[in-house]
Structure 1
Amino acid sequence: MSEEKNLELLKIRISIWEKVVDVQMHFNDLCLRIRSFSISILGVLLGAAAIAYRFAGHVSIFDYKIPTASIFIAISVVVWLAFYLMDRFWYHELLKGAVHHAQKIEESLKQFTPEIELANSIREQSHKSLKMNAAKKLNIFYLSILFVQLLALAFLSTDIVKVSG
């Protein structure tokens, strides 16, 4: 193959790598937006629960009077779990796919441009942080907040009263 053709092929490969990095950035941005939105919604629901706890009293459901705040916290648990599932098992997996693809491209470009190691560098640094991978950190983020929500729900369950029929 001629030198000129090799150079053109290298340019095409680098262009493909750049596009894959753009896709990585897109999925990373989506993940951060999901987390930001989920925290905002959580704040609204927990704020509503706090107001309900202070002012709304109880509602009757079947033969029980339950704190109105528990309804907001239960909804927040469902919403939080939905965001977790979407983030962890949908967008995080798409981001991982883009990272793995970039690593393959970087491996094939190593002989021409050893400096192109962005995907590997990011992955290495991510694993050094807290000595765990991104999926574990994501699980800790969502599940620790879920634990607090469930604690609040358990606390409120002590205020459930059976109405004598």
Structure 2
Amino acid sequence: MEKGQKVGVLDVHAKYGESYQKSGYDLLRAVTHWKPTEVDKERSNDPNDKVTATYVLDEGFYQLLTLFDFASPINVEAHLQMWREAVGVQMHFNDIGWRIRALALTVLTFTLGAIGYAYINFGPAHIGAWEVSPALFLPFVGAGLWCAFWFADRGWFHKLLVGSVKEGADQEEILSARGVPTNLGGYITNASPIKFKHWKYWWGKRKGKAVEWHSSLKLNFFYGIGLLLLGATAVAIAIYGPRPTPMNMPPEVPVVNNNITIVPPVPSVLPTPPKTPSP
């Protein structure tokens, strides 16, 4: 260690591994290649004969990681570009998600309109002894399409969005450790969830834990509302039955009043009489 300090080499003393008091240490001194003067100097308790190490490990080898940075230098500009790409991918998948939801709402609107049209304009269908409206089957078709949109959104592109967010968070951590403060993903993650506070009894005692709705739960809630609406429509049609048609409606009784004379409307423009040919 003394020679290393003379030539400018960093030295570290592994103090945690000192074994002066062990029985085999005398044998080590006897077979060492050191010169007798060096052995006597090492055995001496004189502080002037001791070499003070630049760094001391008094607990374990792991302390080297706190003293030196063994990682190779990183290219900050490259990681900054990777962070930009991650943010761009997040925007891309987020845009796809909103396009899917907009298309799903359009399909839901047309499904409800088709249900109303079929209920009003089509007569009942007979299934065995049951008489049902053809509109009863349309909510199930709409529910199938709605679930397909949910799978494409929640089970497909949303997972890709979450992966890109994690990549952006990793790049932000690397850049922040190198003196480039970037925490866009962290701020968005903290601001995104809907937080419900503890609800209270009327006398003021709290019960339950605070609830946070993150993006996955909010997506499930969004698509759950659509399924609930279609299900309620199907139940209402099944309960009220098919709409009566004019054929099975009771005939209307005409009201006769002999004091009223029905006169056909007079046209606003009188027709021109045909011309007779001259002799």
Fold shared, TM-score > 0.5 on shorter chain:
yes
In the alignment, structure 1 residue 47 sits paired with structure 2 residue 113: yes
Instruction: Indicate the residue corresponding to 1:95 in structure 2.
Output: 161
Instruction: Indicate the residue corresponding to 1:3 in structure 2.
Output: none
Measure the CA separation in 2 of the matches of 1:86 and 1:65. Answer: 36
Return 87-96 or 126-135, whichever deviates more.
126-135
1:121–1:70 CA distance, 2 compared to 1 (3 A): same
Measure the CA separation in 1 of the matches of 2:108 and 2:92. Answer: 24
Check the 8 A contact 2:118/2:134 in 1, yes or no: yes
The amino acid that maps onto 1:35 is: R
Counterparts of residues 1-150 of structure 1 (less than 5 Å):
9-61=75-127, 64-128=130-194, 131-150=212-231
Query: Shift in Å at residue 63 of structure 1?
Result: 5.3
**Partner SS for 1:115:** coil
TM-score by length of 1: 0.85
Deviations 1:57-78 (A, max 9, x none): 3234455432121222111111
In the alignment, structure 1 residue 154 sits paired with structure 2 residue 220: no
**Partner SS for 2:192:** helix
Check the 8 A contact 2:132/2:238 in 1, yes or no: yes
The amino acid that maps onto 1:21 is: V
TM-score by length of 2: 0.52
**Partner SS for 2:132:** strand
Measure the CA separation in 1 of the matches of 2:90 and 2:176. Answer: 20
Return 123-132 or 141-150, whichever deviates more.
123-132
Structure ID, larger Rg: 2
Deviations 1:116-156 (A, max 9, x none): 11111111110255631011111111112211211111111
Long gaps (5+) in structure 2: 1-72, 197-211, 243-279
**Partner SS for 1:110:** helix
Long gaps (5+) in structure 1: 1-5, 161-165
Query: Which structure dedicates a bigger proportion of its chain to helix?
Result: 1
Return 96-105 or 123-132, whichever deviates more.
123-132
Check the 8 A contact 2:143/2:227 in 1, yes or no: yes
Aligned residues: 155
Instruction: Indicate the residue corresponding to 2:27 in structure 1.
Output: none
Return 106-115 or 12-21, whichever deviates more.
106-115
